Amino acid sequence: MKLFRLFFLTLALTAACSSGFVIPDPVPGNRQNQPSDEGNGEEDDNNGPEEEPFVLKDGMLVADGNDEGTYSLILERGYNMEPPDESGDHKDSPFRHIRQSYDNVLKKPVFDFYIHIQNDDDRGLPNIKDRQRNEIKTDGKSPAAMVAQEGETLRMSWKFCLPDGMKTTTKFCHIHQLKGIDNKEGTADVGIPLITFTCRSVSGGKQQLQVIYNGRSQNNTGNEYLAKVNLADFLGEWVSVVETVKFAEKGTYSVVIHRLRDGKQLLKVDVKDKDLWRDGTTGLRPKWGIYRSFGENRSLASELRDEILHFADFYIEKL
């Protein structure tokens, strides 16, 4: 019995993603092409069955272990980014906010998204003083297969791990968004995302992960909560997400999240006949990372802290 308990204690400890916040030295983003960290092609000496070779498909973004080439990798795979690399004190010594590290649970490199509560802002925009962001996304420069047009369906999958002890407030802290791309005239209805995954503090000192839907701006629908689950089940844990969306006036939305440690389903949403299109937009697309409010003039900063969010294995495919 003691050995049995020891086994599961060891399993639980090794299943948690790393959560210590250690700030590396500032490194400017290297946008030059970098060689990928591929194997040397030698055969495995063991006698076990040969594993299927990994094939990097269009729409995939997978960490390759080449940390300094992280930004180049993101761009080369058809994604884009909005990091606060030159915000505040980073202006004279830029800090690369998306990095790579080796994860002991997944046994491979992953992406690390940094955010600093006392310094980082929202893309350096001087008129925005209540929020900060560090995100990747697809946009108008991405391949057509990674952006949805009206009536099209995207399936998006990824893994993420939120740090132990992650701080939240009653304001928003989005870790995923589905949002429109504006048109050249700047007149599209893209101010409010269709879907967000939001980490939020609620009454009784609890924290939730919420899946929130918003309708068109002119309808003033406000937040519709498609799911509210205990954030504690996610902290320090790797989870996998599969999200499928038909972007249309009568669209469909589904998402399932499983915890990797034990396969437990933590969240499931399946809704139909949802307005999942926006007037004037040139396409709808996903975003990932951290986009959070810290209150006007950082009034909520004392309730928050520096964080590192971990992501891995992004994949977008058009069905």
The range of the structural domain enclosing residue 219 comes to 56-318
Report the b/e string of 11-37 with b at 16+ CB within 10 A: eeeebbbbbeeeeeeeeebeeeebeee
Is residue 34 one of the residues assigned to a domain? no
SS (H, E, C) 228-296: EEEHHHCECEEEEEEEEEECCCCEEEEEEEEECCCCCEEEEEEEEEECCCCCCCCCEEEEEEEEEECCH
In degrees and rounded to multiples of 5, residue 90 shows phi and psi of: -75, -10
What pLDDT score was predicted for residue 311? 98
> Which CATH number goes with the domain that contains 212?
2.60.120.200
What pLDDT score was predicted for residue 221? 80
CB 167 within 8 A of CB 293: no
Q: Please tell me the distance from the alpha carbon of residue 273 to that of residue 276, in angstroms, as a whole number.
A: 9
Is residue 145 one of the residues assigned to a domain? yes
Is residue 312 one of the residues assigned to a domain? yes
For 57-77, write each residue's pLDDT tens digit: 999 999 999 999 999 999 999
Is residue 235 one of the residues assigned to a domain? yes
Is residue 80 one of the residues assigned to a domain? yes
What pLDDT score was predicted for residue 47? 53
What pLDDT score was predicted for residue 220? 80
What pLDDT score was predicted for residue 184? 93
What pLDDT score was predicted for residue 127? 86
Is residue 11 one of the residues assigned to a domain? no
Q: Please tell me the distance from the alpha carbon of residue 67 to that of residue 203, in angstroms, as a whole number.
A: 40
What pLDDT score was predicted for residue 8? 41
Is residue 310 one of the residues assigned to a domain? yes
Q: How far is CA 39 from the centre of its chain?
A: 27
For 279-297, write each residue's pLDDT tens digit: 999 999 999 999 999 999 8
Say what the pTM is: 0.85
Q: Please tell me the distance from the alpha carbon of residue 33 to that of residue 66, in angstroms, as a whole number.
A: 11
Number of domains in the chain: 1
Give me 38's structure tokens.
Answer: 């591929």
What pLDDT score was predicted for residue 51? 61
Is residue 124 one of the residues assigned to a domain? yes
CB 256 within 8 A of CB 152: no
Report the b/e string of 58-96 with b at 16+ CB within 10 A: ebbbbbbebbebbbbbbbebbbbbbbbbbbeebeeebbb
What pLDDT score was predicted for residue 36? 34
Low-confidence ranges of the chain (pLDDT < 50): 1-15, 20-45
Q: Please tell me the distance from the alpha carbon of residue 312 to that of residue 244, in angstroms, as a whole number.
A: 18
β pairing state of 60-61 and 80-82: unpaired
